[in-house]
Amino acid sequence: MRLNSAVPLCSHSAMILLCAASVFAQQKPCATASRFGPDDQLGNVNYITPAKTLTASKLVTKGRAYRLGVETNKDTPAYGTRTFGIIVLQPGQAGGATIGPNKVSYNDDIINGWVGVGSQIDGFGHLGIDNLYFNCNKAADFTAPDGLKKLGIEKVPAIATRGVLLDMAGYFNTDIVKEGTAFNRAEIDGAMKREGISAIEQGDVVLFYTGWQKLSGKDNKRFISVNPGLGREGARYLASLGVAMVGSDTPNFEVLPFEKDAGVYEVHQILLPLNGIHILENMNTEEMVKDQAWEFLFTLGAPRITGGVQAIINPIAIR
């Protein structure tokens, strides 16, 4: 009897140890650890598989392409101290001189400005939590004045996936959604239902339209300092669905003023370091809303600037 009773006792003990080991294995080494492993620098872009791209390509039924980038110039409203300028030169051609017997003349240009101006993608090296960035990378270990040693924007691969556009202006029945309006689960689900979108899936790019670009060049102070946008619950909701990227037609992306009791750019923290989800800002989706292009093939080839924190982009949506 003692022997027989010892067997279940040992089995029970082994089960406890096995469960304990399983729990330990599931514990994250740090708050920002990637679910894709310790060497991962792509985050949820990993969900954009060849099969995902192939399925998304079937959304192209009309052959209409949309430029999602806005024009970037010295007058583009920009956050904080950011500025942008372009200088056009004619090297070695002072006074109208030309080059060679066939009299070649040419122009070159120099960009003198910040990368985070206009339509942009936020890389994982852009924002962290107390100097801890995506996948347990500490600022002191990878940040340098001549470029990031990890998490650089050059790591973003070629993107071709399903895109979903949520017309929040239509959902709220207004031309421009009021600043401070947060998009959380109820608003996201409501906008989806209005458009007939059945689901947001792993590897999707989700864009919000608010009408905010209508203010650019007309009321730049309001445009850059406040806006409607994604709230904390909404960010966690989209993260739980496994989206690859999220974006908006606003310059700050998340809701401003921030939600009650929210930290400074806490939505950015939820998305970038905690969940490995890239952020797209100043996306021009005006024409898509007019055409009710709610689902589409989203494509992006981010500039491969080694060690870059952000990049000026012009994604193309095709339906």
Tens of pLDDT, residue by residue over 45-61, are 999 999 999 999 999 99
Query: How far apart (Å, rounded) are the C-alpha atoms in residues 219 and 203?
Result: 35
Whole-number pLDDT of residue 26: 62
Residue position matching structure tokens 């792993």: 202
Query: How far apart (Å, rounded) are the C-alpha atoms in residues 176 and 182?
Result: 14
Give yes or no for residue 25 having a pLDDT over 80. no
Crossing angle between the packed helical segments 185-195 and 232-240, to the nearest 10 degrees: 60
Stated pTM of the model:
0.90
User: pLDDT tens, 84-112?
Assistant: 999 999 999 999 999 999 999 999 999 99
Contact 227, 255 (CB under 8 A): yes
Whole-number pLDDT of residue 27: 81
